[in-house]
Amino acid sequence: MKLTDLFSLQGTLFAMMLIGAWMKKRGIISEEGKRCLSDLCINVVIPCNIFKSCLIDLEPGVLKNCALLILSAVLLQLLCLLLNLFLFNRYEDRQKKVLQYCTIVPMSGFLGNPIAEGLYSSIGVLYTSIFLIPMRIIMWSVGTTYFVSGAVIDKKKLIKNVLTHPCLVAIYLGVICMITQVSLPKILTETLRYVGNCNSALTMFIVGTILADVRFREILNKDTLLFSVLRLILLPAAAFGLGSLLRLDSVSLGVSVLMTGMPAGATAAIFAARYNSDAPFATKCVVTTTLLSMLTLPLWSWLAG
């Protein structure tokens, strides 16, 4: 894909983001509607998009690439957890929690599939889904403890989240179908395809509703810019180096770098508000990294080949 095509893809996604912001400003999407869209996306649309990506002919290198992607993702999550032990200690507690969470949880769950599908087609969505397994596990376990003082990970709850999260269930079922090469009824595959194809528009509408609630004059500051360097430059650079050491193929390397270089997860603002943390600061981190990622993601796509 040419660099101009990458910017075209980013421009398309940004245009849909602006539509989401416009609908929020006009009251077409309310706060309750935003929550409904998020639930619809996470519980239905993204799982369908993941599952349909698994309905491909199984080639010899696919399983090997998936295994290497899992290894890469685990090592990168361990790096993020290590950085969280000392990197943000100078911040006051409410902001420290936000930065720790945003370090381990990028917006890959929302933005990942549309970008991977636009760049690499169905195989990109499959690899993205596999790569995000460790992140989703950390997100719903360690990630939540950052916002709850003295929290202890409930192992039973963690196992339940891992086993029942819709996106992860879609991966389990999809991989089984991919390995067995089972032939599913056309009515089922077409339903999955049509629902899954809503993914890009819905996810960008949701991101747009987040942008609509922020005053742009108040977004940029030293702390959000410094965090953006970590989130959008240093972490994907680490992913690029690790992927090169593991000799990932071009698609796997691209997925690893792009998913690691995504902006801060939108759920940071949700958790910050719910647990009396610094929600405005969390929103600024999400919005700043989202806007700057429009520049960094195409460059990382190009560098990763």
CATH of the domain at 111: 1.20.1530
Q: What mean pLDDT comes out for the span 49-63?
A: 78
First to last CA, the chain: 9
DSSP E strands, 24-152: none
Check residue 150 and give its pLDDT. 53
In angstroms, rounded to a whole number, what is the distance separating the alpha carbons of residues 200 and 167? Answer: 16
Q: What mean pLDDT comes out for the span 100-123?
A: 83
154 has a pLDDT exceeding 70: no
> pLDDT digit string (tens) for 199-250?
778 877 877 887 787 776 767 788 999 999 999 999 999 999 999 999 999 9
Q: Is 276 left (phi over 0), alpha (psi -120 to 50) or beta?
A: left
Which of the given ranges, 11-20, 82-91, 150-159, has the highest pLDDT on average?
Answer: 82-91
The contacts found for 274-279 with CB under 8 angstroms, 24 or more apart, are 274/147, 275/147, 275/148, 276/94, 277/94, 277/97, 277/98, 277/147, 278/94, 278/95, 278/97, 278/98
- Which residues are 264's β-sheet partners? 106
Q: What mean pLDDT comes out for the span 101-112?
A: 84
Q: What mean pLDDT comes out for the span 80-85?
A: 94
6 has a pLDDT exceeding 70: no
1 has a pLDDT exceeding 60: no
Check residue 155 and give its pLDDT. 67
In this structure, is residue 127 part of a structural domain?
yes
Q: What is the mean pLDDT of the chain?
A: 84
- Which residues are 106's β-sheet partners? 264
Does an H or E element contain 134, and which?
Answer: helix 133-139
In angstroms, rounded to a whole number, what is the distance separating the alpha carbons of residues 158 and 22? Answer: 37
Indicate the pLDDT class of residue 161, thresholds 50, 70 and 90. Answer: low
In this structure, is residue 162 part of a structural domain?
yes
In this structure, is residue 303 part of a structural domain?
no
More confident residue, 206 or 194: 194
Distances (CA, A) of 126 to 154, 165, 215: 30, 17, 36
For 135, half-sphere exposure in the C-beta direction (CA atoms, 13 angstrom radius) is 28
Check residue 227 and give its pLDDT. 95
Which of the given ranges, 11-25, 135-149, 195-209, has the highest pLDDT on average?
Answer: 11-25
Check residue 125 and give its pLDDT. 83
In this structure, is residue 305 part of a structural domain?
no
Indicate the pLDDT class of residue 73, thresholds 50, 70 and 90. Answer: very high
Q: Which single residue is written with the structure tokens 């990109």? A: 124
In this structure, is residue 304 part of a structural domain?
no
Query: 116 lies in which domain range?
Result: 3-297
More confident residue, 291 or 96: 96
In this structure, is residue 302 part of a structural domain?
no
For the full predicted model, state whether its pTM sits above 0.95.
Answer: no
In this structure, is residue 143 part of a structural domain?
yes
- Give the torsion through C-alpha atoms of 280, 236, 167, 14, to 10 deg: 60
Check residue 32 and give its pLDDT. 86
- Identify the weakest region by mean pLDDT among 18-22, 77-81, 100-104, 226-230: 18-22
139 has a pLDDT exceeding 90: no
Domain count, the chain: 1
